[in-house]
């Protein structure tokens, strides 16, 4: 018996549209057809378990075969099969209306959204027409007493359906590859596509004699069944040639949404190395995309691994995805899991955690800055390190410095350096006072400091070179000046003349005689403004666009050199002043070019004059 018919009477022909619009992603036809074959096989297995199918299951592989000569690709399964009636219902009506709906949605979108939709939405069975000008289905249902069915469609809305003899239960979908799709007649091309999308499908997929997939990837197993080696091996499979991960989290939740997966913490050395799009998104073991934006919180995109969830709505556009309740819950869940894991590592193995800190620190701080909930958890396990290399939690650090580093207003002043080498003199000066100095060197740290100042009560941060040591943490006691007011004015004028630079604001301060004769500082506020300006922070910063460098030059009223300057004749006084100022510049790494040459010349001269 043969029947012909029209798939739908009131729809325009969708096939040219499918073909035209989906040009960039033709390869997904194979993912769609192979997953259909896998679904049909799994359905049969379920029926067998329920006792509704009593026959022999036999070998349940899905086979993909290529006949280049005949221009045919065949996808065969030994699943539950379809009767002629079922083909009419599932392929002609349901699948077709699904494809039609897809095309309708697709037509309205702009190009960017289109790419997004294609990547995340399977066209289903009709995606076959992206590469084939004729598609045949040969199917034998598992139901006893049913006849085999043969369906043919040439890419118009017309189809034929007839009975046929098919010995084996299951379905063969035969694609007659169109003239413009020759690339899919290459074995290597098909293998690449299969490996990309089908590598972890739950039923064996055989292509040209070899099975291309792992049916039970480790994320589908229970953590208790797995060893560390299993996890690292899997990581190597996903990312060959990369360094071993630091640690991982096995995700496993089935309520209120379904999600499994493994997230790895990669070894990252600096911000520039962050590699996004390393997490692969699967839906029931079928690879969907590695664009997990919106499904995974921004700061977690630095992680690697696999997420598998049938609950992530792949068939909706981007803007909708962000607002989707399930996606929001998944975001919250993953963030919580990651925070819990870090907390656990910190509690169980503090030493190991400290060793890993240089790799995870950046990530933890990034998380704290971008997610309030994460901050709340991470504030207990985020670490800071002082210049001596010792690690502290925020609480531990506050405890340890508060006896010594509170100013006269009971404000705790935390001192830090962004470069212990370059700011060495200032670090030593602070340490000599009994102060501790933290290393906060990463680009992210300036934002992190800002956040901590908001969160921690009565606490401010100052870079060690933000002021002279006595003023860095202002106490009640003051050092008296040995100079008269007249001397101070003279000194100020002499130095200003010797330096003759408008960006250097000279002031005479009563410092300890042990401190340097001249100290150059840049106020904390001013430096932060400039930092923000440099890193392109916020529009409001534009007004500081022409902010000049502005330094404070403190002349130490109590230093022996100062006395010499005052006692010398004008010419020698200016030389001495210039020389002490240059020394201060030198200690800040600010003496360059002509000034440096002049300094060396003068030094040599002074030395030989002795």
Ligand X SMILES: Nc1ncnc2c1ncn2[C@@H]1O[C@H](COP(=O)(O)OP(=O)(O)OP(=O)(O)O)[C@@H](O)[C@H]1O
| Chain positions contacting ligand X, by CB under 6 A | 32, 36-37, 40, 77, 79-80, 82, 90-91, 94-95, 98, 122, 124-125, 171
The two structure tokens encoding residue 357: 């800190």
Other CB atoms within 10 Å distance of the CB of residue 102: 24
Question: In angstroms, rounded to a whole number, what is the distance separating the alpha carbons of residues 332 and 341?
Answer: 14
Other CB atoms within 10 Å distance of the CB of residue 189: 15
Closest to ligand X by CB, 37 vs 508, is 37
Question: In angstroms, rounded to a whole number, what is the distance separating the alpha carbons of residues 111 and 201?
Answer: 31
Is 544 known to sit in a ligand binding site? no
**What's the closest the beta carbon of residue 396 comes to ligand X, in angstroms?**
53
Cβ atoms of 308 and 259 closer than 8 Å? yes
Who contacts 192 (Cβ-Cβ below 8 Å, separation ≥6)? none
Distance of CA 459 to the CA centre of its chain: 30
Direct distance between the N- and C-terminal alpha carbons of the chain, in angstroms, rounded to an integer: 119
Is 210 known to sit in a ligand binding site? no
**What's the closest the beta carbon of residue 390 comes to ligand X, in angstroms?**
56
Closest to ligand X by CB, 285 vs 417, is 285
Cβ atoms of 402 and 392 closer than 8 Å? no
Closest to ligand X by CB, 27 vs 371, is 27
Is 120 known to sit in a ligand binding site? yes
Exposure letters 229-238 (e unless 16+ CB within 10 A, then b): eebeebbeeb
Question: In angstroms, rounded to a whole number, what is the distance separating the alpha carbons of residues 284 and 306?
Answer: 12
Closest to ligand X by CB, 37 vs 238, is 37
**What's the closest the beta carbon of residue 316 comes to ligand X, in angstroms?**
13
**What's the closest the beta carbon of residue 32 comes to ligand X, in angstroms?**
5
**What's the closest the beta carbon of residue 186 comes to ligand X, in angstroms?**
24
Closest to ligand X by CB, 116 vs 579, is 116
**What's the closest the beta carbon of residue 283 comes to ligand X, in angstroms?**
9
| Residue 290 burial by Cβ neighbours in a 10 Å radius (0-12, 13-18, 19+) | middle
Q: What DSSP character marks residue 296?
A: B
Who contacts 343 (Cβ-Cβ below 8 Å, separation ≥6)? 377, 380, 381
Is 36 known to sit in a ligand binding site? yes
Pairing type for strands 412-417 and 437-439 reads parallel
Who contacts 593 (Cβ-Cβ below 8 Å, separation ≥6)? none
CA nearest neighbour of 251 among 317, 308, 316, 194: 308
**What's the closest the beta carbon of residue 326 comes to ligand X, in angstroms?**
17
Cβ atoms of 433 and 469 closer than 8 Å? yes
Closest to ligand X by CB, 91 vs 469, is 91
The two structure tokens encoding residue 133: 């000008």
Is 122 known to sit in a ligand binding site? yes
Who contacts 552 (Cβ-Cβ below 8 Å, separation ≥6)? 467, 505, 507, 520, 521, 522, 523
Closest to ligand X by CB, 31 vs 463, is 31
Closest to ligand X by CB, 92 vs 335, is 92
Cβ atoms of 81 and 142 closer than 8 Å? yes
**What's the closest the beta carbon of residue 99 comes to ligand X, in angstroms?**
7
**What's the closest the beta carbon of residue 176 comes to ligand X, in angstroms?**
17
**How big is the chain, counted in residues?**
610
Is 171 known to sit in a ligand binding site? yes
CA nearest neighbour of 170 among 93, 60, 66, 94: 60
Question: In angstroms, rounded to a whole number, what is the distance separating the alpha carbons of residues 345 and 519?
Answer: 44
Closest to ligand X by CB, 172 vs 582, is 172
Is 125 known to sit in a ligand binding site? yes
Is 124 known to sit in a ligand binding site? yes
**What's the closest the beta carbon of residue 285 comes to ligand X, in angstroms?**
14
Question: In angstroms, rounded to a whole number, what is the distance separating the alpha carbons of residues 346 and 344?
Answer: 5
Closest to ligand X by CB, 93 vs 332, is 93
Q: Which residue's CB comes closest to ligand X?
A: 124
Annotated binding site: 32, 36, 77, 82, 97-98, 120-125, 171, 318
Annotated binding site for ATP: 32, 36, 77, 82, 97-98, 120-125, 171, 318
């Amino acid at each position: 018996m043969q029947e012909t018919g029209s798939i739908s009477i009131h729809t325009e022909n969708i096939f040219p549209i499918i073909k035209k619009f989906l040009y960039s992603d033709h390869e997904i036809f194979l993912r769609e057809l192979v997953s259909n074959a896998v679904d049909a096989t799994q359905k049969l297995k379920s029926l067998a378990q329920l006792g509704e199918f009593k026959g022999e299951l036999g070998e349940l592989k899905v086979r993909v075969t290529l006949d280049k000569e005949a221009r045919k690709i065949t996808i065969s399964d030994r699943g539950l099969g379809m009767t002629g009636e079922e083909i009419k219902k599932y392929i002609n009506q349901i699948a077709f209306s699904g494809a039609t709906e897809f095309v309708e949605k697709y037509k309205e979108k702009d190009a960017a959204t289109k790419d997004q939709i294609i990547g995340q939405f399977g066209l289903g069975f009709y995606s076959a027409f992206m590469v084939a000008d004729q598609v045949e289905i040969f199917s034998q249902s598992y139901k006893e007493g049913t006849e085999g069915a043969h369906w043919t469609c040439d890419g118009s809305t017309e189809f034929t359906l007839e009975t046929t003899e098919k010995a084996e239960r299951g379905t063969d979908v035969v694609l007659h590859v169109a003239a413009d799709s020759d690339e899919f007649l290459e074995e290597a091309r098909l293998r690449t596509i299969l490996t990309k999308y089908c590598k972890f499908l739950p039923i064996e997929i055989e292509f040209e004699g070899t099975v291309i997939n792992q049916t039970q990837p480790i994320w589908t197993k229970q953590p208790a069944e797995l060893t560390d080696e299993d996890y690292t091996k899997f990581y190597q499979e996903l990312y060959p040639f990369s360094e071993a991960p630091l640690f991982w989290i096995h995700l496993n939740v089935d309520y209120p949404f379904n999600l499994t997966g493994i997230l790895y913490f990669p070894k990252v050395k600096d911000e520039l190395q962050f590699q996004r799009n390393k997490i692969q998104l699967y839906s029931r073991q079928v690879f969907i995309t590695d664009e997990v934006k919106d499904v995974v919180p921004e700061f977690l995109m630095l992680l690697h691994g696999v997420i598998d969830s049938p609950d992530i709505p792949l068939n909706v556009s981007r803007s909708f995805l962000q607002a989707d309740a399930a996606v929001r819950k998944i975001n919250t869940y993953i963030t919580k899991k990651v925070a819990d894991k870090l907390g656990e590592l910190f509690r169980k193995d503090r030493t190991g955690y400290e060793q890993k800190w240089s790799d995870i620190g950046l990530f933890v701080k990034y998380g704290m800055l971008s997610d309030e909930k994460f901050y709340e958890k991470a504030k207990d396990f985020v670490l800071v390190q002082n210049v001596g290399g010792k690690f502290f939690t925020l609480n531990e650090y506050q405890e340890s410095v508060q006896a010594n580093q509170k100013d006269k207003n009971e404000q705790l002043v935390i001192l830090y350096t962004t470069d212990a080498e370059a700011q060495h003199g200032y670090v030593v000066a602070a340490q000599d006072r009994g102060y501790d100095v933290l290393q906060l060197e990463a680009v992210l740290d300036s934002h992190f400091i800002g956040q901590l100042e908001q969160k921690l009560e009565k606490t401010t941060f100052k870079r060690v070179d933000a002021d002279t040591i006595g003023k860095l943490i202002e106490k009640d006691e003051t050092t008296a000046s040995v100079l008269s007011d007249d001397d101070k004015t003279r000194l100020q004028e002499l130095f200003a003349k010797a330096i003759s630079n408008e960006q250097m604001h000279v002031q005479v301060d009563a410092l300890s005689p042990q401190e340097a004769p001249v100290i150059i500082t840049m106020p904390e506020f001013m430096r932060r403004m400039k930092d923000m300006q440099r890193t392109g922070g916020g529009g409001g910063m534009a007004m500081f666009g022409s902010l000049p460098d502005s330094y404070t030059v403190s002349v130490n009223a109590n230093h022996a050199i100062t006395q010499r300057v005052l006692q010398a004749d004008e010419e020698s006084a200016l030389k001495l002043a210039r020389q002490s100022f240059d020394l201060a510049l030198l200690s800040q790494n600010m003496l360059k070019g002509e000034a440096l040459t002049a300094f060396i010349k003068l030094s040599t001269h002074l030395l030989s004059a002795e």
